Amino acid sequence: MSTITIDDLTKRFGETTAIDGVSLSIDDGEILGIVGPSGCGKTTTLRTIGGFETPTSGRILFDDDDVTRVPPERRNVGLVFQSYALFDNMTVRENVQFGPKMQGVPRQERRDRADRLLSMLGIGDLSDRDPSTLSGGQQQRVGLARALAVEPRILLLDEPMTGLDAQLKRRLRDEIGSLLTELDVTALYVTHDQVEAMEMCDRIAVMNDGHVEQLGSPREVYESPATQFVSEFISLDYPEFAFVEETG
């Protein structure tokens, strides 16, 4: 995993400025959330880190490597989207092994990796199934295992829980949160759901209209909002949020 630095990043699409001078860093092993209303630039930020958009200006560093002009397939990022996009002509295990196979990882090692990840996600018994026979939550776990199997420098998650029911979302939130922490994954988590970000992320960037309004721990953002916008956006539907007191 790596430390990710975004330095003064701007992306314009014609007349639209999707992101406007965004700077932030994601520490090695950290889960950074990006929240904000529709159209504020969350997905564009994620896609630019993944290499699927070329910034109009600014730089992206993975550790000390400037990857701003490096194509996506050479950045080694793991991607999890709301649409699971699993390959239906392959079993679950084959789906998870696909990325490592493309990377030239030896057969036994990629099988071991796939089995380990699937069992960590509680779906080891589904390895030989066709993905189309799985539930939405199971497919999302396979998607996550597949993204992690390439041992990415950063895991990019874009609204991964969309389309799942509330109860399943809560369960996956806990499970995925602990798994990412256990594996010490550096991750960027894009969501419009404040609660999801609060519970899963080490720090949160609140975006509005292409720029970062505030970057801080969930507690800082919730208890000491830097702007009126942050205050309104964060407090919206999380009145019952209780922070666990830090000890030690």
Give residues in contact with ligand ATP (CB under 6 A): 13, 16, 18, 36, 38-44, 192
CB of residue 40 to ligand ATP, shortest distance in Å: 4
Q: Which of 42/75 has CB closer to ligand ATP?
A: 42
**DSSP letter string over 56-81?**
SEEEEEETTEE-TTS-GGGT-EEEE-
We find the least distance from the C-beta atom of residue 96 to ligand ATP, in angstroms, to be 27
Nearest to residue 14, comparing CAs of 56, 45, 42? 56
21 or 29, CB closer to ligand ATP? 21
CA dihedral 40, 162, 148, 113 (to 10 degrees): 180
The nearer residue to ligand ATP, 13 or 243, going by C-beta atoms, is: 13
Question: What residues contact 114, with CB distance under 8 A and at least 6 apart?
Answer: 93, 96, 97, 100, 127, 145, 149
Residue 1 Cβ, how far from ligand ATP at the closest point, in Å? 24
Q: Are 91 and 127 in contact (CB under 8 A)?
A: yes
Both tokens of 34, joined, read: 């990006």
**Nearest approach, Cβ of 223 to ligand ATP (angstroms)?**
24
With respect to ligand ATP, which residue has the nearer C-beta, 42 or 146? 42
